[in-house]
Amino acid sequence: MQSIRNGKTPSATNPGRGISRQMATIGTTVMVFVFIVAVLFAANENDVVGWLVVIISLGWLLLFAFVVFSIRGAARKAGAKLAQAQDSLNRAAGGAPSVEVMDEATLIRDQKLDHSFKIIQVQSKVIRDNLGTDADQVSRAIETIEITAHNARGMMKKDEGGPVEGTVVD
């Protein structure tokens, strides 16, 4: 499953995407450089052959730009169709969609749940360390785990009603 923040749709992702983007950037830079050099030489020499080279290099630059933008557009469309097909297959199989939009409230809730799980991990270590030696410490750790679990469950679904009871230990 792929998470999307702020409702933005994902671009088509593939392993070679970074390399192809770099090559397109380098190729575009080279073609623009060749065109500028051809214009400078043609302006300095002011002959027909120089201006023919300018026209030819401009044609190659335009062709290159057309090919790059066409391939990028086709790749985006193919990625979108692939994601749509994957979503429809997941829905047909009874699974969740492969793209999930996450808003800020969901992210904050996930951070709070993560913190709750960390508290439970710490308290389980306290229980392991004090299991045979300090029954009062173990009892407080179990109570903290119960309160934390109740609060975490309340974040995931509607509150069951009533305040959480327990003793705050400093």
pLDDT at position 102: 63
pLDDT for 62-102, tens place per residue?
998 888 888 888 888 998 898 888 888 888 887 666 555 66
Please, which pLDDT band fits residue 8 given cuts at 50, 70 and 90?
very low
Q: Is 53 left (phi over 0), alpha (psi -120 to 50) or beta?
A: alpha
Q: Rounded to whole angstroms, how far apart are CA atoms 51 and 41? A: 9
SS3 25: helix
pLDDT for 12-70, tens place per residue?
455 556 777 788 888 888 888 888 888 888 888 888 888 888 888 889 889 988 888 88
Q: Is 97 left (phi over 0), alpha (psi -120 to 50) or beta?
A: beta
pTM of this prediction exceeds 0.75: no
Pick the more confident residue, 149 or 159.
149
pLDDT score of 142 more than 80: yes
Largest pairwise CA distance in the chain: 98
pLDDT at position 96: 63
pLDDT at position 164: 62
pLDDT score of 11 more than 60: no
* Domain range list for the chain: 2-99, 103-156
Alpha-carbon torsion, ordered 23, 26, 30, 36, to 10 deg: 140
pLDDT at position 43: 84
pLDDT at position 17: 62
Q: Rounded to whole angstroms, how far apart are CA atoms 18 and 5? A: 21
